Amino acid sequence: MTTANLPQRRLYRVHEAMVLLSMSRSVIYELLRSGRLRSVTQGRTRLIPASAIADYIALLEQEAQAS
């Protein structure tokens, strides 16, 4: 799956966030546990809002500038 195949949406499943952020499943879940990446649940499905992905990218950029 490539990012070109993902439509612009407001909520992404974990495997889609993996593709968007180029990170492994375990890293995504660690970010969720630590609170660095937000998520919501719908039933048993964990979904990551597009705004949470954008916020995480902005956080990474801020940390890079601070270094």
Q: What is the pLDDT of residues 9-53, one digit of tens each?
A: 899 999 999 999 999 999 999 999 999 999 999 999 999 999 999
Torsion of the alpha carbons at 29, 33, 35 and 36, rounded to the nearest 10? -30
Q: Which residues contact 2 (CB under 8 A, 6 or more apart)?
A: 19
The predicted pLDDT at position 2 comes to 56
Classify the C-alpha dihedral 56-4-42-46 as positive or negative: negative
Per the model's pLDDT, the better-predicted residue between 6 and 64 turns out to be 64
pTM (2 decimals)? Answer: 0.85
Q: What is the rounded distance in angstroms from the CA atom of residue 58 to the CA atom of residue 15?
A: 21
